[in-house]
Chain A
């Protein structure tokens, strides 16, 4: 197939080491409750950008929170670099969808980014330099002294991403990070995120309910079905990088994926 011929563009091949590994994972809330997730198995390889897409109520957020260590699987095994995920860790940064709640309203932009560095970088001058660098990277230099409530949604989400980057995580877990933003801001942030991921080769798991976003960003897309949340299909996205909002979205392979996934999500 024509799709397979572009495999070389994918930034991580099957040879890259496995960062996250899920084996028959299930999550049930309460002793008698219905399972939220059932029999989920997949690997995330180092440097990979994995999109997870699914209808609301399919357990996407639960899955991501489990990867972060904020909740534990009821059955099965969740491994991070070979060890079971039992608690949250600085190595696994999480970007929450509700950026307004995830930022400290009493701290400035710079103060919010510094939060993750205060323990690991006790020397203030050194820390300030690092914060300034990250703030500049996210295009927030002009707003470094402003408070979150004085910023637009897109800028607040940038602050959260900068804070996560400052953790120097081994993996970025993103829970519908752009879901609450307007279309223009969303596209800008999508491209910035891809550039960041490419530059740092950060392993990323990106949750979204937006099919196009999943395909546009991902090296691979896992489609979840609901009730209970389970993997419906996994597709490899072999679109060349760097991707472009206009040309990539017009690429026949992009459209083919979109048609396929759309049918899949409508099918049940």
Chain B
């Protein structure tokens, strides 16, 4: 038995039982659909383009927020990591800000931007800043001091030092922070859509639920899982900087 077959055994068995139980009338709930109906609902949403549109809206907000949040996180984290004085001064402020849950900013975002992309991306950016900031901060502090001395002797200015020495040296660990932030981005984007913002996959889920289309709702959930998996897989491929050899230590 191949590894693929072995891994597929439990899901296939589970789906078959589920289908059988629903079809024979053994299990009847309004909140429950069955695999064939879910598949057909998903296929329908794909064919009429509705799920693609909401996917685009959610991904747009999540990725825009991630890019903004990660950029801010990398920049602030680098500054904190390079200058311990700044870290000692700004540390408590950041700790206080970080304690505000991102979703609590939804009313403020709504007030500032109204419904739409800007408000959603802003809340996502806020949530994504922290994991990246903390990963960058600790990664930059961990950069080999000898390399910083090499930068000193070569009279590198801040930007050059960041670009040539610090960020490449800290890349692997910053990347982990960004991957955590990616998961956060998707969660926050969908949350904002479910709670207040009438767009994207989150809103589609609410609509499916309110119109009692359980099959469509399950299809969208599975679709979300697939999107998250694909995004993470894409980020994993850029784990090694510059396409170079993986560091051995």
The 4 closest A-B pairs by CB, nearest first: A101-B146, A88-B152, A88-B153, A149-B248
A94 within 8 A of B: yes
Cβ proximity bits B122-157 to A, threshold 8 Å, 1 near / 0 not: 000000000000000000000010110110111110
Q: Are B164 and A118 in contact (CB under 8 A)?
A: yes
For A216, list chain B residues within 8 Å (CB). Answer: none
For A98, list chain B residues within 8 Å (CB). Answer: 146
For A150, list chain B residues within 8 Å (CB). Answer: 245
Binding site of A, secondary structure by majority: helix, strand, loop or mixed? Answer: loop
A sample of 12 inter-chain contacts (CB < 8 A) reads: A70-B152, A88-B155, A89-B155, A96-B149, A102-B146, A106-B168, A106-B241, A106-B242, A115-B150, A115-B164, A118-B164, A149-B249
Closest to B152 in A: A88
Cβ proximity bits A87-110 to B, threshold 8 Å, 1 near / 0 not: 111101110101001101111100
Total contacts A-B at CB 8 Å: 62
Q: Are B152 and A147 in contact (CB under 8 A)?
A: no
Cβ proximity bits A34-75 to B, threshold 8 Å, 1 near / 0 not: 000000000000000000000000000000000011100000
A104 to B171, CA, bound (A): 13
Q: Are B154 and A116 in contact (CB under 8 A)?
A: yes
A268 within 8 A of B: no
Q: Are B249 and A105 in contact (CB under 8 A)?
A: yes
Nearest CB of chain B from residue A30's CB, rounded to whole Å:
17
Q: Are A101 and B171 in contact (CB under 8 A)?
A: no
Chain A residues with a Cβ under 8 A of chain B = 68-70, 87-90, 92-94, 96, 98, 101-102, 104-108, 115-116, 118-119, 147, 149-150, 167
Contact of B244 among A102, A116, A147, A167 (CB under 8 A): A147
A105 to B144, CA, bound (A): 11
For A104, list chain B residues within 8 Å (CB). Answer: 147, 165, 168-169
A108 to B171, CA, bound (A): 17
Q: Are B247 and A101 in contact (CB under 8 A)?
A: no
Q: Are A101 and B153 in contact (CB under 8 A)?
A: no
A98 to B145, CA, bound (A): 12
Nearest CB of chain B from residue A155's CB, rounded to whole Å:
16
